[in-house]
Amino acid sequence: MEFMSSEKGKKIIIEDGFKFRFHKMLRNDVQRWKCYLNTCKCFLKLSSTLDIIEKCNVHNHQKCDKKVLNRQKLSNSVKRKAQDDISTRPSKLIRTELKNSDIPSINTNDLKLIRNNIHHARKVIYPKLPKNMQETHNCLSTMNRAGFRTRLPRL
């Protein structure tokens, strides 16, 4: 059983090549995790010490490919680091993560997907650019920066 973070930052469990997401807490601190596909009815029940209590393992789909899981792990960890450190180049983030992780193989298409994920993750953080002069004045007047004390003329 292995823990991983999803694209949206939530925890998922990988058990026997299948991904499970948290569903709900049951009585006696038992956690119920269900398969990540909505059409699949399989689940795991974990105790508070993360031991498997009950397991339904009759999936109606194939296991996740190991290569895809490795790419998702790398992409998610790089995406989190890209949001924390905006000024670092994407290539440097990818290189350092590849050094630290034990991913056996990755191709150029995977690197392109990871770079796109970094771009989209950073794009969410940046504020929208103003479209006209009025929006520019509104943005500047709402900024609470120390040292920014000039008055703007009213339009």
Q: Per residue in 102-127, pLDDT tens?
A: 777 788 898 898 999 999 988 888 87
**What gap in Å lies between CA 82 and CA 121, rounded to an integer?**
7
The stretch 125-144 carries a mean pLDDT of 81
Mean pLDDT on 12-16: 89
Give the confidence band of 139 by pLDDT, cuts at 50, 70, 90: confident
Report the distance separating Cα 117 and Cα 115, nearest Å. 5
Q: 98 with 74: CB under 8 angstroms?
A: yes
How many other β-carbons are positioned within 10 Å of the β-carbon of residue 127? 6
**Rounded Cα–Cα distance for residues 69 and 14 (Å):** 9
Instruction: Specify whether the CB–CB gap between 23 and 40 falls below 8 A.
Output: no
Task: Find the mean pLDDT for residues 123-132.
Answer: 84
How far is Cα 77 from Cα 103, in angstroms, rounded to an integer? 13
Q: Is the pLDDT of residue 22 over 60?
A: yes
Question: From start to end of 41-123, where are the E strands?
Answer: 43-46, 52-56
24 CB contacts (<8 Å, ≥6 apart)?
A: 31, 32
For residue 147, name the pLDDT band (cuts at 50, 70, 90).
very low
Q: pLDDT value at position 125?
A: 82
Tokens of 46: 């974990």
Please provide the average confidence, as pLDDT, over all residues in the chain. Answer: 85
pTM for this entry: 0.68
> What pLDDT, on the 0 to 100 scale, is given for residue 148?
52
Q: At 89, give phi and psi (nearest 5°).
A: -65, 145
Q: Which two tokens stand for residue 137?
A: 């004045």
- Judged by average pLDDT, the poorest of 42-46, 56-60, 113-117, 124-128 is 124-128
Average pLDDT over residues 135-150: 67
Q: How confident is the model at residue 141, as a pLDDT?
A: 79
